[in-house]
Each structure stands twice: as C-alpha cells, then as structure tokens.
Amino acid sequence: ILSDTLDMQISFAKLHTLRQSHKAQKSPVHRSSKYLYFMEQRPNANYSTIVRKRAALGDATPAAENLEPFEEFETVVDFQRESKGYTYFSVMDLEISPDDHLLVYNLDTTGNEVGKLFIYNMTSKTHYLKSPIEVQPGVDFECVCYFR
C-alpha cells in the first residue's frame, strides 16, 4: 500500500534531514518560577548560547524534542560571540540566580582549569566585573558574594 508513496516518503525524509541540519539543538539547563533556560547549540557554532523563554504556570522543563519548532526564545548570553579573541575557551560552571537577574559562569581561557568568574546581568546585558576574578571550578550561588 505504501509503495505508491515511496517517492513522497523519500522527499519528506530529505526535507526533514535538511531542516534538522539547519536547526539549533536545545538542552534544558535550568528552571525557575519565571523562566525555562536552555543551552542552544546553533549550526556552525563552536560554542553554545544560553536562551530562555517564559514558563507557563506549572510548566515543567520540557524535553528538547517536545519544544515547538518556532517558539520564541530570548538570548541570554552568546558564548560564540564571547569566545572571540581567545585561542582557548571553555565554560566550566554556570549558575543562574534565584531571581533570574544574574548569570554567573566560570570561564577557562588558558586550558589550565583555573577560570575567571564572570557575573552577567541578564536584565541590562552587561558584565559586572571589568577584570574577572580567577577561581577554581565549582560556582554555587550559596557562596558567591560580590561587593561594589
């Protein structure tokens, strides 16, 4: 019965493969009462982008395959762009503040596994520290203190 549609099936399979190769892949990384956060790997990018979308009341973090293909996501930080100018670039830790305003991440730019602590304001899209502090891996909001 399906042999009559074989050409159509092949066309759809090719189209699906083409769409998949141009589609960003998302993995859930955090859920707050307001937002669902994802690590997004964009096509032809070496580094991920952190994106978020508003969470509906009672919304659980969905599996990446259950996301709607054209859902709107806000870019929080684009590590592909942040990596410019570095010969080595690795995000070792990443934490989102309970109030959804700060993103703290530990960035290794030398390969020696000693990173620099970055505090990023997701509302104003700015970094707090002009000169990041060198730290060992293991960022946790229970122990991050920053004084201006």
Same domain, yes or no, for 91 and 148? Answer: yes
Question: What global pTM score does this model have?
Answer: 0.69
Q: Say if 5 falls within a structural domain.
A: no
Average pLDDT of the chain? 77
Same domain, yes or no, for 89 and 148? Answer: yes
Same domain, yes or no, for 68 and 94? Answer: no
pLDDT band for position 148 (cuts 50, 70, 90): very low
pLDDT band for position 147 (cuts 50, 70, 90): very low
Take residue 148 and report the two structure tokens written for it.
């201006």
Separation of alpha carbons 84 and 6, rounded Å: 47
**Structural domain harbouring 44:** 24-79
Q: Determine phi and psi for 91, rounding to 5 degrees.
A: -85, 115
